[in-house]
């Protein structure tokens, strides 16, 4: 982690966020700062609103109250043109890839280029090839349909589409869900490599403890309708029972031991 990063203004700033579904309060006066060029994991128990928070940040849902700023802009104050300009600066990968089943992989990746640019077809085609390569897909995947791909390849195709507009922020919703351990580890490695090479800010919702240890600079734990944020080492000092069970349970200890072994190899 860059030691000077915490001196910069946050790239995403959330203040006093409250989310309700009817009488049910999901988030209450939640504050969260996300720094530029960090990888931050968002975790929490069922019903704590992890995916809801992500959807609120990207404008797919509106909170009951509070303020969300991205790149210093209050998202609630943006008009349609402002939202379109903001959406060009981030990429989003949903859990299942969210690919259009009637389009080939290449056509899926081309969608945001068509929507947000005036590039020629030839240039769009060239860029699609570059994005597929960045996501670790072979050239022959371009003309396949999502139904012809494995789960891991569909996620990579979704990642290629998320990278289409050269985003500054990459939002990932459960990126390793449904992958076997080897596939999940390779996807973690890919995200880490892309983050370092492209200077991305990565906001990742995950249950995967291995991912947290492998690539996250900090972790935001949604607990008690609020958030606790810090490195894993700092969170381990928190007396919160859920945090202790999560990181010190059998799976947490196994992930920590794996991380230590990999660091010793490096």
Residue 255's pLDDT is 72
Task: Point out the least confidently predicted range of 53-57, 102-106, 206-210, 223-227.
Answer: 223-227
- Residue 203: predicted pLDDT: 98
Q: Which fold has domain 1-89+199-266?
A: Rossmann fold (3.40.50)
Q: pLDDT at residue 3 above 90?
A: no
Taking residues 228-240, report their average pLDDT. 94
What percentage of the chain has pLDDT greater than the value 70?
A: 93
- 3-class secondary structure per residue, the chain: CCCCHHHCCCCEEEEEEEEEECCEEEEEEEEEEECCCCEEEEEECCCCCHHHHHHHHCCCCCCCEEEEEECCEEHHHCCHHHHHHHHCCEEEECCCCCCCCCCCHHHHHHHHHHHHCCCCHHHHHHHHHHHHHHCCCCHHHHHCCHHHCCHHHHHHHHHHHHCCCCCCEEEEECCCCCCCHHHHHHHHHHHHHHHHHHCCEEEEECCCHHHHHHHCCEEEEEECCEEEEECHHHHCCCCCHHHHHHHHCHHHHHHHHHHHHHHHHC
Whether the per-residue pLDDT at 204 is higher than 70: the answer is: yes
The confidence band for 224, taking pLDDT boundaries of 50, 70 and 90, is confident
């Amino acid at each position: 982690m860059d030691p000077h990063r915490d001196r910069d203004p946050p790239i995403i700033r959330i203040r006093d966020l409250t989310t309700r579904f009817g009488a049910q309060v999901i988030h209450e006066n939640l504050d969260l700062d996300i720094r530029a060029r960090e990888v931050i994991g968002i975790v929490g128990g069922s019903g704590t609103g992890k995916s809801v928070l992500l959807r609120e940040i990207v404008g797919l849902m509106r909170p009951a109250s509070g303020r969300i700023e991205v790149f210093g802009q209050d998202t609630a104050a943006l008009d349609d043109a402002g939202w379109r300009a903001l959406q060009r600066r981030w990429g989003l990968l949903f859990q299942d890839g969210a690919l259009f089943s009637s389009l080939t992989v290449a056509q899926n990746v081309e969608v945001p280029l068509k929507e947000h640019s005036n590039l020629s077809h030839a240039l769009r085609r060239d860029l699609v090839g570059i994005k597929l390569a960045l996501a670790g897909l072979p050239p022959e995947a371009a003309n396949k349909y999502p139904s012809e791909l494995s789960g891991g390849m569909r996620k990579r195709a979704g990642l290629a589409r998320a990278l289409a507009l050269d985003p500054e922020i990459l939002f990932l919703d459960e990126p390793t869900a449904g992958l076997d351990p080897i596939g999940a580890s390779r996807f973690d490695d890919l995200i880490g490599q892309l983050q370092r090479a492209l200077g991305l800010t990565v906001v990742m919702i995950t249950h995967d403890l291995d991912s947290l240890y492998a690539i996250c600079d900090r972790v935001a734990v949604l607990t008690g309708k609020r958030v606790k944020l810090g490195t894993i080492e700092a969170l381990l000092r928190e007396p919160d029972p859920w945090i202790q069970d999560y990181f010190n349970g059998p799976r947490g200890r196994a992930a920590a031991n794996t991380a230590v072994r990999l660091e010793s190899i490096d």
